[in-house]
Structure formats: structure tokens, C-alpha cells
Amino acid sequence: MAYIVPPKYVRHILVTLQSHGHQAFLVGGSTRDMLLGRVPLDWDISTSALPEQVMEIFPDCEATGLKHGTVTVKINSRSAEVTTFRSEGSYTDHRHPDMVSFVGDLTTDLSRRDFTMNAIAFSPDGLMADPFDGCTDIENRLIRAVGLPQLRFQEDALRMFRAVRFSARLGFEIEQETLDAIKIKAHLAAEVAAERVRDEIEKILLSPAPEKVFDLIEYGLMDSYLLSRPDHITDGGALSKLPRKKALYRWTCLCAVLEHYGCIESAESFLTALKMDKRRIRLCTDAAFILTTSIPETTVEWKRLLNKYGVDSVSCAAAVGDVLKHDEPYTKELKSILKSGECFSLKHLAVTGDDLMTLGLSGRELGEMLQFLLDYVMEFPQFNQHDLLLSLAKGTEE
């Protein structure tokens, strides 16, 4: 297998730990990604050194998860997580171990990890520990639970979401027994905190295979957030046609599809249950609402929407509309309106509230007049001129 070489600072941490008489290995996603020839998102190091010993060896560090034995070590402003070999006690809440204990051996540490591909250790001198045959699974592109899959999901239900997330990110299949266990233990997904579920969904939505989010639904992992499971979703492919950097476009698309199939009451209720922040909920809800109720047919209708919901929500609705309604040129039309510079908000109206005050208007009357002028200008953009609008206001008043 072709693999990526860890950067100098990571090798420095490993070698320094070894020179102090400790064992030190790259583990988890770092080793998996290196073996896949991908640059890891973060560098995880596992060591026999206790957290206090790690902190003594590397003064520039932060005790980021002492309870779990994790210390973040910084070398010239770059960092890696160094975690002491550990084993985990029982899991009463199907999510967190009741206790963790530090252990002296690597194999015990590897056996607490979720999937065989994430349970390979790699030392700087090229030594590899692969007690669960993760390399073979990587070669065969398989996600397989370490140990008994049902037991592992019973311990920590988040692992089921991680399995689907890795299948979306890496394009791997979930091995049959592991998949069967997910379907059997899916009800435990209700025990996972909404924020964690939301983060896993977002990672899937931003992966090269965002449609795998519907696997979560098919396996029953989303039951506590849905009114029902859809029989067969045909427009899942729309998600991957949306730009990868636009998480909210993909969320809106997901909401629109789920709403269409009657699986959720509204984008707002679904995203609120997932504890998304208020600003993002507003944007997705407005965009999903535009999509399901009022995709415009004329330029004036677009401008009215821009005025009511703002550019971000309307752009999102247009982009999702394009992919869901089979390449309707909504985005193209919207872009040309935005490019034209035509007025759709009070900010760009050629008269202001102060101008109208000079005509003796105030309070509600003034507000209504501004809205009237804005409506007028949205329909007749060529009349967005100061004097003209002022005389129109005067005329209307009289």
C-alpha cells in the first residue's frame, strides 16, 4: 500500500516519547488515512506514557481531555493529540464509558476502538500493529466493527453513525455482520445527543457521497427525528449536485426531500430537534419554504422574495430548486437579477425615510409609503429616482 509519511513535528513527538522509554504509535484515523494515501485531518498518537509524563516531556501542551488521558502537544504552533493507552469500563448510557483506565499495552487500547481500519498502530520505525486485520479490510474497502458488532453498538450508539459517515467519506461498504448489527441496534440511536447526530449528518452531507444520509434513515438511525421512514427516495442524487462547500444548501435539500415524502413536519421542526443554531435554521427554513410553496415565475416575484427573505435564503432556494426540479435555471435567473442592480430593498430605494419626513409623513404612514414605493420600484425599476419617487409620494399623499 502507498502511504503518506507523517510530518516532521509528528515524528518528533513519537521519537521523543520513545527516547524517554515510552511506547508511542500513530493510531486511529491518522494510520487509516496514511494507508489510504490521504492526508489525515488530525494526528492521533497513542502512548504508554501517563498524561502527567507527557506533560512533563512537552511543556508546550494543553490538558484537553485529561479524564480520557488526552493531552494536546504543540510543536511550533502545530499540534497532535497524545492519548495514554486505555481500556474502557461498561457503558450504561449507550454512549460514554462509566470509567476508563490507563493500561500498559497497545492491543488493549486498539481493542476499544470502533472499526478494524481505525485500530491499526504505526510506529516511526515502521513497526505496525494490526491485531484485527484492519489492513485487509482497508484493502477490501470494508468497515468492520472490532469485536462483536452488536455489543460494540450497544456500548456506544454513536459508532453506528460513524460507520455510515466513513462509508460516505471513504466509499467503503459496511461489512454484512456489522450492517446487520446496526439494523438490530438502531433503536439505541435515540440515546445519542442531538448535537452529535447533527454533526455526523453534516459530515455525511459534505462527503463525496451525501446521499448516504438516506442510509441513516433506511437503517432506522433517524427514527426519533422522523414522522415516518420513506419507502423509496428517488431524488437523493440531487444532494451531490450541490456545491460541497455549501452545507446549508445540502441541509435545505435534505429537508425539502424529507418534507416532500412526509417524513418531517417542517425544516424548522427537524433542524430544531437537531439543535442547529437559530441563524442556520432560519435560512434553511425560509429556503425550504420558498421551494415548497412559492418558487417564482417572474422577475418581480424574485425581487419580492429577495426583499422578504434576503439574498442568502433565496440563493439557497434557487440552487436547491435547480437540482430538485431537474435543472430549472433558477440560479441563472436570480444571478441576472442580482447583477442588474435593480432595487429590491429599502437600502437601495432612491428615497429614504428622512426624505419622506420632509413631506410631513411619520410613523406607520411613513412606513407604508416606503413599502408602497419599494413595491412600485420592484415592478418598474427604471423609476428608482429620487425626485420622481418624491413627487409620486407627494401625489399619492394628496
Residues that bind ligand ATP (CB under 6 A): 28-29, 41-42, 44, 113-114, 118-119, 156, 158-159
Residue 5 or 234: which CB sits closer to Mg ion? Answer: 5
Q: What angle do CA 186, 28, 61 make, to 5 degrees?
A: 120
CA torsion, points 117, 123, 125, 126, in degrees to nearest 10?
-10
- Contact partner at residue 88 from Mg ion, ligand ATP, none, CB < 5 to 8 Å by partner kind: none
Tell me the angle at which helices 311-324 and 330-340 cross, rounded to the nearest 10 degrees.
150
Q: Rounded to whole angstroms, how far apart are CA atoms 111 and 326?
A: 48
Tell me how far, at minimum, the Cβ of 130 lies from ligand ATP, in Å: 13
* Among candidate residues 98, 102, 72, the one with its CA nearest the CA of residue 10: 72
Tell me how far, at minimum, the Cβ of 393 lies from ligand ATP, in Å: 59
Name the closest residue to ligand ATP (Cβ): 29
Tell me how far, at minimum, the Cβ of 44 lies from ligand ATP, in Å: 5
- Contact partner at residue 185 from ligand ATP, Mg ion, none, CB < 5 to 8 Å by partner kind: none
Residue 130 or 322: which CB sits closer to Mg ion? Answer: 130
Contacts of 208 (CB under 8 A, 6+ apart): 168, 169, 171, 240
Tell me how far, at minimum, the Cβ of 276 lies from ligand ATP, in Å: 20
Q: In one letter, which amino acid is 335?
A: K
- Contact partner at residue 212 from Mg ion, ligand ATP, none, CB < 5 to 8 Å by partner kind: none
Residue 90 or 382: which CB sits closer to ligand ATP? Answer: 90
Tell me how far, at minimum, the Cβ of 117 lies from Mg ion, in Å: 12
Check the CA dihedral 56-59-64-70 and report its sign: negative
- Contact partner at residue 286 from Mg ion, ligand ATP, none, CB < 5 to 8 Å by partner kind: none
Tell me how far, at minimum, the Cβ of 203 lies from Mg ion, in Å: 12
Residue 44 or 215: which CB sits closer to ligand ATP? Answer: 44
Residue 36 or 369: which CB sits closer to ligand ATP? Answer: 36
- Contact partner at residue 215 from ligand ATP, Mg ion, none, CB < 5 to 8 Å by partner kind: none
* Among candidate residues 210, 267, 249, 201, the one with its CA nearest the CA of residue 233: 210
Ordered DSSP codes for 90-149? --TTSSS-S-EEE-S-HHHHHHTSSBGGG--EE-TTS-EE-TT-HHHHHHTTEE-BSS-H
Residue 41 or 357: which CB sits closer to ligand ATP? Answer: 41
Residue 65 or 262: which CB sits closer to ligand ATP? Answer: 65
Could you say which DSSP state residue 345 is in? S
Question: For binding to Mg ion (CB under 5 A), which residues are involved?
Answer: 29, 42
Q: Quick one: residue 205, left, alpha or beta (phi over 0 = left, psi -120 to 50 = alpha)?
A: alpha
Tell me how far, at minimum, the Cβ of 81 lies from Mg ion, in Å: 8
